Amino acid sequence: MDRKDAEERVKELRQLLDKYGYYYYVLDQPLVPDSEYDEKMQELMKLEEEFPELQSNDSPTVRVGGPPLVAFEKVQHEIPMMSLGNAFNEQDLYDFDRRVRQVTGDDVQYTCELKIDGLAVSLSYENGSFIQGATRGDGTTGEDITSNLKTVGSIPLRLQKAADIEVRGEVFMPKRSFENLNKDKEQAGEMLFANPRNAAAGSLRQLDPKIAARRNLDIFLYAIADDKGMGLKTHHEAIAYMKELGFKTNPESQLCQSIEEVVEYVNSWVDRRNDLMYEIDGIVIKVDNLKQQQELGYTAKSPRWAIAYKFPAEEKITTLTGITLSVGRTGVVTPTAELKAVKVAGTTVQRASLHNEDLIREKDIKIGDQVVVKKAGDIIPEVVRVLDDLREGHEKDFEMPSECPACGSELVRLEKEVALRCINPQCPAQMQEGLIHFVSRDAMNIDGLGEKVIQQLFTHQLVAGIADLYKLEKEELLKLERMGEKSVQNLLNAIEASKQNSLEKLIFGLGIRFVGSKAARTLAEHFKTMEQLRNASYDDLLAIHEVGEKMADSIVSYFDKPEAAALLDELDALGVNMKYKGPKKAEAASDSIFNGKTIVLTGTLEKLTRKEAKEKIEAFGGKVTGSVSKSTDLLIAGADAGSKLTKAKEYGVEIWEEDRFLEEAEL
């Protein structure tokens, strides 16, 4: 095909694909079978490859995702992206209506729209072509996520008219896509997304648009950023105009003649929201007349002409089948409600913390009760109240024990605390929790020591405390369930390597009350050695800007305890480093964990390119090779890792996910 014919055909294919895409993604009415769309897309891709000068930023081929980015650029919103005031009940809606009518008079209409639970974005078009898309950010400055947004099928790359326009809307992940994504993640052993909104946000913040392209995102547009000069009179006309241009707008909106009609609309969605294919968290009510909107104006944060009605959190009824107790690292005994499994706001709930005994009394909770549960902030399960009318007589009072469920020593209630505590420093439950904390990522970061293995170590009495970790022997470990030669060796290596950690990791690992990982770093920077920290007085500590009275007090009493002194002496004798090694970034290559190692990269890295990862490793003195062999020290596996990952597992090569690599390389 010569250049001229190619140009013709490319134009034709783009028009066809834009049309197919519009019918499929925006109108939800596919015109042709998927195979035909794919075929045409392949043909267009081939032509663009053969005649690169015909490539274009708004060609449908860009939907598959462009090259990965290193970072997102900042974007200034000339017209700020504001938020909305909230209404939580009918009264708030009537109050809103009164405030509006004080300015506009009685002749006012409202457009009600679903409040889509996703991520606000701004899309800019020039001459009908999509040129830039950005997140809301702080409302004034957002991030340029154009290449990710181009992968969203329902965002038009070219409009029906050659318009210059900026529009705003909400990107979301349909419920079904969210469920499928989490299923895949579960199978791959990856962290799940808590809800569709987080999944949408996570997908739009991918630096590799190819990943965003696989995430099935969708959008509804709900506003023109600057509707002046377009001859529009009302919000509903603005929506109709956007629709004409080819944007996807939500079909459920309704024009209401009075606030009573608004209330009716709002109430009609409380139950119906569950039938939608996407999640909503409320209803947005907007004064329809644009002139009236202008009269009403804005407060510092939000328009006076609109309000968001927020649905109350979903509540469900289930049976509380029991109350179990757990002993935390600091000895606090926490009661947990065991519940008959029930689905709340999208996920199954089986347990909910009851926090302390007082709360159980306050809510009058009995075992066997019917209870109302919800998810606070739509995430943390909570028992809201007991349905005592439904009691049948067999429900039992719960008695908090006076002894520790793990070690039997007497529980105490410290001054001013509601919590009951086990203050036996040898309590095995505390020891176990303490060890889980000690090996955790921000503490000593010992890989291969999950909660299950630690439990086994305690039940087989291989450890009774932290120091025992450094005395473990290969033979003993081999006797544990699911611990083969290779995993035992990896574990021992990881334990050995942790001895070289800089002081702050050890300080944090000790689990001193009120000393978080940031404070641990400050203390290490300030005192340089464990010896100095142990000898520090209350006043020495208080002199540090970031240390307050509570923390200083807690540190002094921790080091005063003979058990603490014994533990630290023992760790020192076992070869655990007690010195601060300086900020990690300035670490010389020879100190680096990558120094002298042979490393293989595989799969798609999400946050940086292969080339960048390679450069980083080499800067730290490591070597990057292309294939996995017995002499490979480490495999860094991104998404969709294939045969190299399998091989690495076979050879027992250490495997890190991308996040671990970013952390170690301090990226």
Rule CB under 6 A: say whether 428 interacts with ligand IVH. Answer: no
Binding region for ligand IVH (CB under 6 A) out of 110-118, 335-343, 360-368, 569-577: 110-118
Question: Please, which of residues 445-484 interact with ligand IVH by CB under 6 A?
Answer: none
Q: Cβ of residue 168: shortest distance to ligand IVH, in angstroms?
A: 7
Residue among 197, 530, 563 nearest 346 (CA): 197
- Phi and psi at 234, nearest 5°, equal -135, 165
Binding residue (CB under 6 A) for ligand IVH from 170, 208, 279, 447:
170
Nearer to ligand IVH, 307 or 463 (CB): 307
Q: Which residues inside 402-421 make contact with ligand IVH, applying CB under 6 A? A: none
**Binding piece for ligand IVH, criterion CB under 6 A, among 115-123, 263-271, 405-413, 512-520:** 115-123
- Whole-number Å distance between alpha carbons of 630 and 647: 10
By CB under 6 A, is residue 16 in contact with ligand IVH? no
Q: Clarify whether 291 is annotated catalytic.
A: no
Euclidean distance between CA atoms 237 and 290, whole angstroms = 10
Cα distance between residue 209 and residue 149, in whole Å: 8
Q: Which is nearer to ligand IVH, 120 or 134 (CB)?
A: 120
Euclidean distance between CA atoms 195 and 279, whole angstroms: 9
Q: Min. distance of Cβ 294 from ligand IVH in angstroms? A: 13
25 DSSP 8-state letter: I
Least spacing, CB of residue 136 vs ligand IVH, in Å? 6
Closest CA to 172 of 149, 145, 144: 149
Nearer to ligand IVH among residue 60 and residue 282 (C-beta) = 282
CB of residue 123 vs ligand IVH: minimum separation in angstroms?
13
Closest by CA position to 470, among listed 497, 496, 450: 496
- Sequence-ordered list of residues with C-beta below 8 angstroms from that of 83, at least 6 positions apart, any chain: 139, 301, 302
**Which residue's C-beta sits nearest to ligand IVH?**
120
Those residues with Cβ within 8 angstroms of residue 110's Cβ, 6 or more apart along the chain or in another chain: 255, 256, 259, 261, 262, 285, 286, 287, 288
Nearer to ligand IVH, 44 or 120 (CB): 120
The answer for residues whose C-beta is within 8 angstroms of residue 558's C-beta and 6 or more apart is 510, 512, 513, 564
CB of 235 to ligand IVH, least distance (A): 10
Residue 162's Cβ-count burial label (10 Å; 0-12, 13-18, 19+) is: exposed
Stretch 57-96: interaction string toward ligand IVH, x if CB under 6 A:
-------------------------xxx------------
The Cα–Cα gap between 587 and 502 comes to 11
CB nearer to ligand IVH: pick between 116 and 155: 116
Of 116, 383, 571, 634, the residue at the interface with ligand IVH (CB under 6 A) is 116
Nearer to ligand IVH, 120 or 333 (CB): 120
Q: Is 166 in the site for ligand IVH (CB under 6 A)?
A: no
Q: Give yes or no for residue 120 binding ligand IVH (CB under 6 A).
A: yes
CA–CA distance, 432 with 463 (Å, rounded to integer): 9
Query: Catalytic pick from 115, 375, 607, 644?
Result: 115
The Cα–Cα gap between 277 and 280 comes to 10
Only one of the segments 109-117, 152-160, 385-393, 636-644 lies at the binding site for ligand IVH (rule: CB under 6 A); that segment is 109-117
Is residue 113 within the footprint of ligand IVH (CB under 6 A)?
yes
Nearest distance in Å: CB 249, ligand IVH: 9
Within residues 280-309, the interface with ligand IVH by CB under 6 A covers 284, 303, 308
Q: Does 324 bind ligand IVH (CB under 6 A)?
A: no
Measured between alpha carbons, how far is 18 from 129 in angstroms, rounded to an integer?
12
Q: Which is nearer to ligand IVH, 78 or 572 (CB)?
A: 78
Among 25, 72, 222, 594, binds ligand IVH (CB under 6 A): 222
DSSP string, 161-215: S---EEEEEEEE--HHHHHHHHHHHHHTTPPPPSSHHHHHHHHHT-S-HHHHHTT
User: What is the rounded end-to-end Cα distance, in angstroms, of the chain?
Assistant: 48
Catalytically annotated residues: 115
The binding site for ligand IVH (CB under 6 A) comprises: 82-84, 113, 115-116, 120, 136, 170, 222-223, 284, 303, 308
